[in-house]
A and B are shown apart, each in its own frame.
Chain A
Amino acid sequence: MGRILRQIAAIASMNIRSIPQRLWMSLSTVVAIALVVAVLLAFLAMGNGFRQAQSSAGAADIAIMLRDGAQTEINSAVTREQADIVEEAPGIARQNGRPLVSAELYVIVDGVSRSSHLRANLPLRGLPLAGVALRHNVRIAEGRLFQTGTNEIVVGRSVTREFEGFDLGKTLRLGQSVWTIVGVFEDGGTVRESELWGDVGVVQSVFKRSNFFQTIRVRLASASALPALKAYVDGDPRLKLAVESEAEYFSEQARQSSDLIQKLGWPLAIIMAIGALAGALNTMYSSVASRGTEIATLRAIGFGRIPTFVGTLAEALTLAVIGGVVGILAATLLFQGYSASTLSSNFTQVVFTFKVTPALCGSALVLALIVGVIGGIFPAFRAARQPIVGMLGEQ
């Protein structure tokens, strides 16, 4: 057994060290595998970034109420009366004696994308100051918060980054009304940063939606208070609202939309991997052919079939690993943190950044290794089964 291992090590190291002799063929395999890995990783990082922007926004101790069956905020509708009833519900946290309840209006306004220079849908959320307070992670990064009863808005960091004209101090014309941007807020890069926030009363009157909201958010006394709140809402026939935690709501939104991106990445990468596999097989067969005499010589001086087989496979795996690592490095350098936006199920833009993670790099490397194994195994069989006498005599 020890002898076989020593033989394997000897042949593998000889094969790997001789790769530079077959530089161009080997390089073409490395590049092809690197490109496949980079494409896969770019798609996975895009899907992951998009999902995280949404799922990390949801808090377990914030409950969101939508019209029963609405599924998304934009399709929901809630009346003033319903909002008043909810204030009396159990399990809601209080600040200065007031329940932390936020009835919010959600309308869509135009922004102009910095990259395409085309108009895109942005959400303008009308909410009370209590609504800002109940979102714990939000902090004002520049300027200040809007004041109740004024045409002031604060904008998310992602909005200022991806869309024109939303910098601090700028004014924004929506129909007949002019709004001043008094602050920029941050929320760790989540979907909230893709929103514009203004006072709910002013937004209602400007958009002629008085006494009309889309959603109610409440801060729970604790995450475990959700069932009690749910029971209360379900028990009141005037409410007809669906209650869930914000964490549940956002993870459902994320699941619906990022699925598509992930479903695209893998088939594309697998199809491309078949092309790279053809290249790898080509390279390895030609490597075996060019080492014909060498292999026969080794066999003649007592090296076995198994070490010959494993040695060839090791060469293919080495190329695959180099290709995989190069692809991972390239994708990380090019795409990590790359900012993009797309249309969410709320019919507005969600700005997100590509997120390459070790786990995603791992799955990309697995694809590279699969190409390496399949690309090495058949040529390795040929190497192991080559007749000694024929190869030595051929020259």
Chain B
Amino acid sequence: MNQAMLVAKNLGRRKLRTFLMLVAIFIAFFLYGALECFNRAFHSSENAASAERLVTVNRINFTMPLPVNYAGRVQQVPGVRAVTYQSWFGGYYKDQREPLFMMAVDPATYLAVYPSVQMPAEQRRAWLANRTGLAVGKTTAAKYGWKVGDRIPISSNVYMKKDGGRAWEFDVSAVFSDPDDSAREGLVLMGHDYFDETVTFGRDQVNMIVFSTSSTKQNDAIAKAVDALFANSEAETTTDTAAAFNRAFAAQFGNIALIITLVVATAFAAILMIVGNTMVMSVRERTREIGVLKTLGFRSSTILGQILAESLLLAVVGAVLGLGAADGVILVAGKFLQGFGSNLQMTAAVFLGGVGWAVLLGLVTGAVPAWSGMRLQIATALGRR
């Protein structure tokens, strides 16, 4: 009978109790896994945004317009590599309550600033050539079942057409993916020329200018130079890294990270109480046995190791099952939450982080009973009932 068997026997002696402890641990790690993955997906654009990309918006607020000619002036600033501009279109397809993440962009420069946006060469050519062409991210294309060659009507809840109509006709020219930032795969991109020639207001104005630089080290200096260029003009600007811009935008929804941390901490506190106390009780019940083992010559350190192994095994098995279940659930949830795309997935960091917490949980819940088991005097142990 080896050590591992003793550990297994101890866990198996009260199967219901072991099962209930596993359920509690499972739940806590399921919550940790699912919420942590959600949190990372929610903040993914802050990390995915290439560090060398900068965003220039109107100083008053990013919903305020900038003249389109600012893009050309930004291009002149030393250290700026590629410049593009975009405007929020406020588009929706049939159902107004389901807005599209739709921007009017300048296709050629857009692709230069976002080199990770990928589409087949012939689709790329088609999108660049067709004024009414649309490039659709693959998540959104899949959601609405749009295919290259489809002609679709899209309405805007912000803009009106000059001819009085509400629906713009588009040709789906391209379906794109973005391996660096899969949240981008939820976007719909129309041409800014088509936008300018059809809207009743907002012509030759853009919401934001995005550009890449030749070296991230110069970013601060370049941002200052861009803002200085437009200081005291009709539309003053503020320039920041894309990561910082996205972080500020995400923060507008509230401190999601704090809420998730609190919920996960609460769940962990609960299982710490439950599992910790159950382990203490379970070892107390075995007092006489531990006495017998010691009488047989088992060392105190072996007893300590066995009890710790028991709590560790329990915590790690429960955690791995919980993280596995979280993986399954978020995979399904990702299909329904537009805008998250394939960002919502179990990452190695979340999984390993969970296993790390499980080891800590196992050590903490096993510490008190293991210590008292180790310190137990044989005479006391055999006398205690």
* A positions within 8 Å CB-CB of B: 24-25, 27-29, 31-32, 35-36, 38-39, 69-71, 75, 77, 107-110, 113, 115-116, 118-121, 174-176, 207, 268, 271-272, 274-276, 278-279, 281-282, 285-286, 340-343, 347, 349
Contacts and interface: CB of A to CB of B under 8 A. Distances in A.
B251 A32 contact: no
B2 interface: no
Contact of A176 (B234, B254, B270): B234
Contacts of B247: 118
Nearest to B267: A272
Interface in B324-379: none
23 contacts: A31-B269, A39-B266, A75-B90, A107-B64, A108-B61, A119-B248, A121-B252, A175-B234, A175-B235, A268-B31, A272-B267, A272-B270, A275-B267, A276-B274, A279-B24, A279-B274, A282-B17, A282-B21, A282-B274, A285-B16, A286-B278, A342-B253, A343-B252
Contact of B251 (A38, A120, A174, A278): A120
B20 A279 contact: yes
Q: Which 6 A-B pairs have the closest CB atoms?
A: A275-B27, A279-B274, A28-B273, A278-B23, A32-B270, A118-B248
A342 B60 contact: no
Contact of A113 (B23, B30, B251): B251
B17 A285 contact: yes
A116 B244 CA distance: 13
Contacts of B252: 118, 120-121, 342-343, 349
Given A118-B251, A275-B26, 10 more contacts: A38-B266, A107-B61, A115-B255, A120-B251, A121-B61, A175-B59, A268-B31, A275-B23, A275-B271, A275-B274
A395 B60 CA distance: 81
Given A25-B278, A120-B252, A271 B21 contact: no
Contacts of B291: none
Contacts of B20: 278-279, 281-282, 285
B236 A175 contact: yes
Interface in B240-288: 247-248, 251-255, 263, 266-267, 269-271, 273-274, 276-278, 280-281
A135 B235 CA distance: 33
B96 interface: yes
Interface of B: 16-17, 20-21, 23-24, 26-28, 30-31, 58-61, 63-64, 90, 96, 157-158, 160, 166, 232, 234-236, 247-248, 251-255, 263, 266-267, 269-271, 273-274, 276-278, 280-281
A24 B365 CA distance: 13
Contacts, number: 134
A123 to B, nearest CB: 10
A76 to B, nearest CB: 9
B96 A71 contact: yes
A70 B99 CA distance: 12
A272 B27 contact: yes
Contacts of B28: 275
B262 to A, nearest CB: 8
Contact of B274 (A113, A278, A340): A278
A205 B16 CA distance: 74
Q: Which of B26, B160, B274 has the most CB of A within 10 A?
A: B274
A116 B253 CA distance: 11
- Indicate the member of A174, A274, A275, A286 with the most B CB atoms within 10 Å: A275
Classify the interface of chain B: helix, strand, loop or mixed: helix
B254 A340 contact: yes
A148 to B, nearest CB: 22
Given A268-B263, A282-B21, A342 B61 contact: no
Contacts of A29: 274
A109 B61 CA distance: 5
B251 A110 contact: no
Given A282-B274, A282-B278, A274 B27 contact: yes
B270 A36 contact: yes
A63 to B, nearest CB: 22
A27 B273 contact: yes
A340 B20 CA distance: 38
Nearest to A120: B252
A271 B31 contact: yes
A38 B247 CA distance: 29
Given A120-B251, A340-B254, A342-B252, A272 B31 contact: yes
Contacts of A120: 248, 251-252
A39 B269 CA distance: 12
B31 A347 contact: no
Nearest to B31: A271
Contacts of B21: 278, 282
B248 A276 contact: no
A35 B266 contact: yes
A121 B253 CA distance: 11
B2 to A, nearest CB: 29
Contacts of B26: 275
B255 A116 contact: yes
Contact of B276 (A28, A281, A285, A347): A28
B193 to A, nearest CB: 23
Interface centre among A70, A271, A340, A349 (most CB of B within 10 A): A271
A393 to B, nearest CB: 16
Contacts of A113: 251
Contacts of A271: 27, 30-31
B169 to A, nearest CB: 19
B333 to A, nearest CB: 11
Most buried by A among B235, B236, B251: B251
Contacts of A341: 254
Contacts of A110: 59-61
A286 to B, nearest CB: 6
